[in-house]
């Protein structure tokens, strides 16, 4: 997964501060490059490139690799869930019937899909914003998924 700034110093443990939003935005861009080089740009991109005989699909491979590594490192695993726990139950209507079922609701403690986004981590920043959830990371994750589905439907 990509660091939040290529020139930023590494933390004391030798690991760079990561940015899941930058990684997902880069993956989306690579998918668009792949489609243009294949001669069929995707939705939202009007640029066309002549079909490149020498293009080997490497941009799509890079996009998939970035996405896989980002999901491995950043996917939040504290999912909201429902259980049939009578001790902490809340009445909610489930299914398509008119029956009320009693379930306990476990809310996620995190408010995003991906963790480890960094918006501003400069030493002189008014407020440092690092290692958190970001609507941008989540948006580009969903955008990547939609683009890959579009590629699949076109069989590029």
**pTM, two decimal places:** 0.71
Q: Is 9 exposed, middle or buried (0-12, 13-18, 19+ CB in 10 A)?
A: exposed
Confidence of residue 14 (pLDDT cuts 50, 70, 90): low
The answer to whether residues 145 and 49 touch, using CB atoms and an 8 Å cutoff, is no
Q: Tell me what the mean pLDDT of segment 2-14 comes to.
A: 59
**φ/ψ of residue 45, rounded to 5:** -125, 120
Confidence of residue 67 (pLDDT cuts 50, 70, 90): very high
pLDDT greater at residue 44 or residue 68: 68
CB-CB neighbours of 139 under 10 Å: 15
pLDDT 10s digits, 96-133: 444 556 666 766 667 878 887 877 666 676 776 666 77
């Amino acid at each position: 997964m990509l660091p939040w700034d290529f020139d930023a110093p590494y933390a004391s443990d030798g690991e760079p501060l990561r940015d899941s939003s930058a990684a997902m935005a880069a993956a989306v861009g690579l998918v668009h490059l792949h489609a243009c080089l294949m001669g069929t740009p995707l939705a939202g991109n009007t640029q066309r490139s002549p079909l490149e005989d020498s293009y080997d699909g490497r941009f799509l491979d890079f996009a998939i690799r970035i996405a896989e590594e980002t999901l491995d490192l950043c996917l939040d695993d504290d999912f909201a869930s429902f259980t049939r726990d009578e001790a902490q139950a809340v009445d909610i209507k489930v299914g398509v019937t008119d029956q009320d079922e009693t379930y306990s609701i476990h809310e996620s403690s995190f408010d995003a899909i991906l963790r480890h986004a960094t918006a501003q981590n400069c030493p002189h920043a008014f407020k440092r914003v690092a290692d958190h959830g970001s609507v941008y990371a989540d948006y580009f994750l969903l955008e990547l998924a939609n683009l890959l589905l579009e590629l699949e439907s076109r069989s590029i």
